[in-house]
Structure 1
Amino acid sequence: MPAPLNPVDLRELAVRLAIAAGEELLARQRSLSIDAAGVETKSSASDPVSAADRASEKLITDGLTAARPDDGLLGEEGASRPSNTGLTWVIDPLDGTVNYLYGRPDWCVSIAVEDEDGALAGVVHQPRSGTTWSAVRGAGAYRADTTPYQTIWYGGLRLGLKRQTRLATALVCTGFSYLPERRAEQAAVLQDLLPAVRDLRRGGSAALDLCSVADGTADAYYEHVIQPWDVAAGGLIAREAGAAVVRGAGTAFPQGILAAAPSVAAPLHELLTRRSV
């Protein structure tokens, strides 16, 4: 009989690979810029992908294949493999590529493992700060501000949303599409949102925005259309920290996500669903 599945072990594997990928990305960032050779575009001229994205994804998928060859893979840069175990790893090897190429600090590595019920474990690692957020479904969310993976579970700070706020005093994060026509639709939503909240932030990394909800450095994050690898890990971390998370089929955010402190989730949800975007 195989050993029982331990989600903590899956999370620890993700932590090790996220930190290793972060070190690879840091080494490469010194020689990259937004106009460097090897930087291409994806959905539009403003949506870049670099050799660093691909190298990070290869490092992660090679590590996962060596450790768990029968699990599925789904990665932003093309990694794809069906699952023979019921588990699939959802990978964003570099979330915040524009920030990365401009030399800004707000980029990260995001790794989640999902089963039929959604994310089972997730890790978001920010290499420039050495901060790692992690969660296991049903076991809480943690933040560690040092890079050795051993500190995450035993020495990390357990997260819980302690601040209660109203929508009028909420700090809200969001992101914008790289497609001009969608940006125009998103701007229309902002006309309703900005007068109703304390302020708005656009950091450039969905995974980090979700972690900011988890650790209380923001009160909410939303985006109506987002890719699964952008939010798989961060969504679990926010939920395990106590945020209300709305995402997926049958919700008002079937292709997106809303994660918010419970005290602002309902009024923000109502405001954001007044317009169809």
Structure 2
Amino acid sequence: MGDLIRVAHLLADAARPATLEHFRSTGLEADNKRPADFDPVTEGDRAAERAMRDVLAAERPDDAIIGEEYGTKEGTSGLTWVLDPIDGTRGYLSGTPTWGVLIAAGPQSGPVVGIIDQPYIGERFIGAPNHATVTGPHGTGALRTRAARPLSQSILFTTFPEVGSDAERAAFDAVADQAQLVRYGCDCYAYALLAAGQIDLVIEAGLNSYDIQAPIAVIQAAGGIVTDWDGNPVHNGGRVIAAANRDIHQQAMEILRSKMR
């Protein structure tokens, strides 16, 4: 575990300059990976993933890799690194500091180490068994999710107002109607805020494994819970509910499940 944490930090250290070189550049351009929609990728995304893959080639060549931009590399160790070099490329392209570098490692059953790194702010959230810390402008401190409280007092985040399908949006809205405050558009930074005890819930749909594996490891280490909308493991992606504690997770999940029947 100690070596996985060490290498995870090396990956985040390598990705920082690669992303910052292009962030808020007036000449930053994006290619669209999904012509029917707008799914941008920039040289910052590609450069950061290349930098992290170079570190893994040197430090842990037998491990597998799943990366958003360069696909899958098979391994023989039983461990897989799951990399999202810039989660929130739309925000990156727009100049908002809510994107992040996501790094996770673990066996097929799910991540055991995760990092959410925000290079521009200089914040790094890391989670592993018996290890949950944040380092940033205020120094280094422990991560701990919020204690249980009623859904009516909760803060809820999601990235896209439409959430997913019409049915998924209706289910999300049913939870949102009972929350005290609903916010949008923070991508992976919302999960970091949950681990840091700032908010109570993040609910999303249509995620990939590289979107959620790092947040799972960080939030679980901080005392929270992350599942699909039926309470099952979600490290392979799909509909996600991340919660500060089991009580509010159960409250929100019951509403989601009732609306999706």
Give the direction of change, closer, same or farther, for the CA distance of 1:57–1:195 in structure 2 (3 Å limit): same
* Uncovered stretches (5+) of structure 2, i.e. residues with no partner: none
Match of 1:273 in 2: 257
Flag as ranges the 4+ runs of structure 1 deviating above 6 A: none
TM superposition score normalised by structure 2: 0.89
Give the direction of change, closer, same or farther, for the CA distance of 1:257–1:190 in structure 2 (3 Å limit): closer
Query: Is 1:139 aligned to residue 130 of structure 2?
Result: yes
Question: Partners of 2:163 and 2:101 in 1: how far apart?
Answer: 28
Query: Is 1:196 aligned to residue 178 of structure 2?
Result: yes
Cα-to-partner distance string for 1:88-125 (whole Å, 9 max, x where unaligned): 10000000100000011101101011114311211111
Query: Is 1:9 aligned to residue 17 of structure 2?
Result: no
Question: Partners of 1:12 and 1:146 in 2: how far apart?
Answer: 21
How far 1:49 sits from its partner (Å)? 1.2
Work out which of the residue numbers 235, 243, 251 in structure 2 matches 1:260: 243
Question: Partners of 1:202 and 1:270 in 2: how far apart?
Answer: 22
Residue 260 of structure 2 aligns to a residue whose secondary structure is coil
The number of aligned residues is 258
Match of 2:215 in 1: 234
Give the direction of change, closer, same or farther, for the CA distance of 1:276–1:143 in structure 2 (3 Å limit): same
Equivalent residues in 2 for 1:111-126, closer than 5 Å: 111-126=103-118
Question: Partners of 2:229 and 2:77 in 1: how far apart?
Answer: 23
Match of 1:164 in 2: 148
Match of 1:3 in 2: none
Greater shift in the superposed pair: 114-123 or 181-190: 181-190
AA aligned to 2:145 is L
Given that 1:40 and 1:50 are in contact with CA atoms closer than 8 Å, whether structure 2 keeps it comes out as no
Question: Partners of 1:186 and 1:176 in 2: how far apart?
Answer: 12
Equivalent residues in 2 for 1:81-230, closer than 5 Å: 81-136=73-128, 138-145=129-136, 156-176=140-160, 182-205=164-187, 207-230=188-211
* Uncovered stretches (5+) of structure 1, i.e. residues with no partner: 1-6, 148-154
Question: Partners of 2:59 and 2:132 in 1: how far apart?
Answer: 24
Given that 1:91 and 1:229 are in contact with CA atoms closer than 8 Å, whether structure 2 keeps it comes out as yes
Q: Please report the RMSD computed on the Cα atoms of aligned residues, expressed in angstroms.
A: 2.6
Question: Partners of 2:127 and 2:151 in 1: how far apart?
Answer: 27
Richer in strand (by share): 2
How far 1:50 sits from its partner (Å)? 1.3
Greater shift in the superposed pair: 183-192 or 103-112: 183-192
Given that 2:146 and 2:244 are in contact with CA atoms closer than 8 Å, whether structure 1 keeps it comes out as no
Identity %: 29
AA aligned to 2:197 is G
How far 1:181 sits from its partner (Å)? 9.9
Give the direction of change, closer, same or farther, for the CA distance of 1:79–1:248 in structure 2 (3 Å limit): farther
